[in-house]
Amino acid sequence: MKEDLSSQAYWKATIGLLTKILIVWFLVSFGAGIIFVDVLNQIKLGGYPLGFWFAQQGSLYIFIVLIFYYAKKMNDLDRRFDVHED
């Protein structure tokens, strides 16, 4: 019974992490690149409109950061719930 509660807590934490990451992914890709592009284009970054920059390069940088963040947080979760690999 205790193992069942632990696995439920582990999956709940995993789904929570994935949900947060997907929200950031959506806001950066769809929000900054499409929805808020007109507002962001009023700001210049390196001579280019910020909305254009997010659509072309910024979202890629954020996605790479998300990959490393996910890997770090999943390792932390695995250690917390003692399901890690050494």
3-state secondary structure 30-76: HHHHHHCHHHHCCCEECCEEHHHHHHHHHHHHHHHHHHHHHHHHHHH
pTM of the complete model beyond 0.95:
no
Range of the domain at 52: 2-80
> pLDDT tens track of the chain, all 86 residues?
456 778 899 999 999 999 999 999 999 888 888 888 899 899 998 888 988 888 888 889 999 999 999 999 999 999 999 887 77
Domain assignment of residue 85, yes or no: no
With respect to residue 86, please indicate whether it lies within any of the assigned structural domains. no
CA distance 4 to 26: 32
Does residue 69 lie in a domain region? yes
Domain count, the chain: 1
The answer to whether position 44 is within a domain reads yes
